C-alpha cells in the first residue's frame, strides 16, 4: 500500500466518521427535545390532576 492510497483511505474514513457524528448529534438533539417536551407535558398533567383539598377532611364516624 503506497502513501497516496493510505492518505485517501484515512481521509475517506475521517469523512465518514464526521458524517456519522453529525447524524448521531442530530438524532440525540431530536430525542432530547422530545424528552423535554414530554417532561413538560407530564408536569402540566400532574398540575391539573393535583387536588390539594383531597383528603383534607374525612368522616371517621361513618
If DSSP codes are grouped into helix, strand and coil, which group holds residue 44? helix
Residue range 3-56, pLDDT digits in tens: 878 888 999 999 999 999 999 999 999 999 999 999 999 988 888 777 766 666
Distance CA 62, CA 6 (A): 87
Element (H, E) at 51: none
For residue 47, give the nearest of 57, 35, 58, 39 by alpha carbon.
Answer: 39
- The pLDDT value recorded for residue 15 is 92
The predicted structure's pLDDT at residue 45: 81
- pTM for the full model? 0.58
Amino acid at each position: 500500500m503506497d502513501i497516496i492510497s493510505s492518505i485517501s483511505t484515512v481521509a475517506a474514513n475521517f469523512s465518514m466518521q464526521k458524517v456519522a457524528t453529525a447524524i448521531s448529534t442530530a438524532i440525540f438533539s431530536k430525542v432530547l427535545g422530545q424528552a423535554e417536551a414530554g417532561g413538560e407535558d407530564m408536569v402540566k398533567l400532574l398540575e391539573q390532576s393535583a387536588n390539594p383539598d383531597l383528603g383534607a377532611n374525612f368522616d371517621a364516624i361513618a
